[in-house]
Structure 1
Amino acid sequence: VLYSSFYSVKKNHIIFIVNCCHCTERPKVKVSIKPAQHVFRGETVTLRCDIDGEGVTSWEYRWYKDGSFYSSSELQEYTFSPVTESDAGKYSCYGAERGGSRRSQHSDAVTLKVSDRAQTVLSVSPQKWLTEGDPVTLICEVYSSSTGWTFSWFSVTASPGNRYHYQLLSDSSRGAGGNYTVSSAALKHTGVYVCRAERGNPAYNTTYSNTQPVWVTGVSPQVSLVISPSRTQHFTFVSLSLSCEDQSNSDRWRVRRYTENEQWEDCSSLLWASQTGSTCTFIFTFTSNTGVYWCQSESGENYHPVNITVHYDVILESPVHPVTEGDTLTLRCLYKFTTPQNLRADFYKAGSLLQNQTTEMIISNVSKSHEGFYYCKHSERGESPKSWISVRGETVDQKTLLKSVLV
């Protein structure tokens, strides 16, 4: 209740005295957005207007968008289902008591940002080339958004024509964390992976992420990829043979390739190549033959991945199979158009110079720390591609022999 009185203090001046009984401050208001302020077209988005006022049984909620009246409702929440780019803007609200005279304050505005379809990004840590027993983590993130997502991981296979098939990892638990970790990688983990995220109710799903390969090297009892000549780098315009060999000499294995542009290919589909039984033969090699090759069983198991690089001039001669701890590693730089072949070169690991001006580099008593990418460089001929050198632990036979010697 307001009432006032006035007194004339001096000519042409009036002083108003305002008296207030039962006046209270207007209730404060806050606007919130679920699931997040940054959402994607197709999601269900809810605006909520919370009024911190006592003694009012019902409010009429009045919504404003970008400073202009937008909508009014007796409901505390306003929902976009589905939300579109046109719904983006700055939203605020205030309340008016239904059947009464009370009014709330006007809330601060919150910004709703609506983008096109959400994109998930998959990365591998610490690296995609592993040796048996190494830990590996698949990290799934939603580009430019981090609120309220749950994640799932899938292995990917491709049928002829590169039609993708996704298989949910049976041992992956969906959760708020975007990491899927394998504490000890096994040969069976060799493959190509994607992830996907979802949030909200009803659930909104992102598209599948980019593909990420994981290559696990080791000695497989099932099958071995035998390469002739026995090295991972090869010159152009030479013959090359890749054969999947198992103990029973069966033909149930085939050679497959994965390229940098995310294509699965059979040996028989490659230029100047043919598949006979479990053997892939190149009559002539080309730089386009570069890729990761492995042996795949009829049931889809993947074993023994090898990164084969075809280069025109300088290549690094390195072992195809993982090197066992304690053994000796020998690397050589080979030249296609040079006589004599024993030119001196510099040898590098991960960009760091290890040895310079030598015909070969020998590392005795190899340890896990020697694992990594190696290449060689000649001052005039150029440098070779990089090759991954895997180092695995001692075999059971080696440990038994060492134990018997010590005893």
Structure 2
Amino acid sequence: MKTTLLFLLLRLYFTSAQSRATLIVSPSSSQFFEYNSVSLICDHSSSDEWTVWRYTNGNKLSSCDSGWGNPTPSRCDIKAIKPLDSGMYWCESKYRDSSNMVNITIITGKGVILQSPAGLVTEGDNITLNCKEQNTNNLQAEFYRNNFSVSTKPEGNMTIHQVSKSNEGEYKCRMSENKSSPSWLLIEDGLDPAVLTVSPDSSQTFEYKILNLSCRHDRSSHGWRIARVTLDHKLSHCGVGWGTPSSSGCFIQTAKKTDSAVYWCESATRQRSNSVNFTVHHGNVTLQTPLRPLTEGDNVTLLCKTKTSHTLPCDFYKDGAHVKTEPAGHMTIHGVSTSDEGLYWCHIAGYGESPPSWLFVRGSNSSPSPSALTIILIRLPVVVAPFAICTVLALFSCRHTGNSLKSC
């Protein structure tokens, strides 16, 4: 029993490790002068490719290959960054797992920037904040935290030694008569980001159904809020024109076609959950498929249904080709593999077609990157140690009482 439990925990641990990424900004800053070069790198623990995404101040959601950057595997380079590039950036895998977010601000003319770590900072590190005017160096600067002056430095930089949670906050600086935009200093809390879950657990539903979205987190759901981008590229948060915020997420009493969107959870510390592409259909047929990616070897059932029945004969399609006809409205795939991954939909005679839905399958042979192996080697003892200790104590107890190992 203990061996089985340990195996399940290890599988969960490695799957979780492979579904995480960190967005690294190079040079490491969240503020830049116009025409600077910036690289955005997805540091991750799987063999999958990740893509850099952003939504800008115009609330437009787009990926690096949309024309604003030069995409390479798990990386995006911006050669001459401009004010229109100001916005929130993150990495996302094809399975819709996500990295942390970084708020990047671009300053023009003779403005001031505050150079501070772009990502989460580890408690105990030493960090330096640099206040800069374009084409000038080492001028006196005053630093502010949460709008209160904390220090004036003659050479324009301030070092915080052994940073702690108490140093977290919104920082600005003033040089001459110019003030920088705010920059957040955020401390790593060691916890995995939240996971967005949706009830009903399907990528499609009919109009006027109840929709419940929850941010599931190791500690609590407090401090997380749900955001979405609709089909017309509008970004908004639960409670602003749609949905009712709840203690765990967001509640939509009567879902409508306009609620079709990509949803995710955000925290105050710029953490971001997985995203979910959810369709609210006004037609007669929906296809129920899992929201989260499957793992090779899993079994999955696809359900084709109308508003009144889920047992009618139907045809299933994948990537434009007919797969099979099922007499009772459902198709089960046993032991899925990556070859089963694709875009599915179904058709019921006399009722019509469902919208398409992606079925994602995570390969079981993904190998962690070298940086991931380092993280795993550091953290793995935390997972294994309790079970190793229990096993040693059990063996000692067996030897002490004279019982055989088998009986123990």
Query: What TM-score does the superposition give when structure 1 sets the normalisation length?
Result: 0.47
Q: Which has the higher strand share?
A: 1
TM-score between the two structures when normalised by the length of structure 2: 0.47
Task: Choose between structure 1 and 2: higher helix proportion.
Answer: 2
Which structure's CA Rg is the greater one? 1
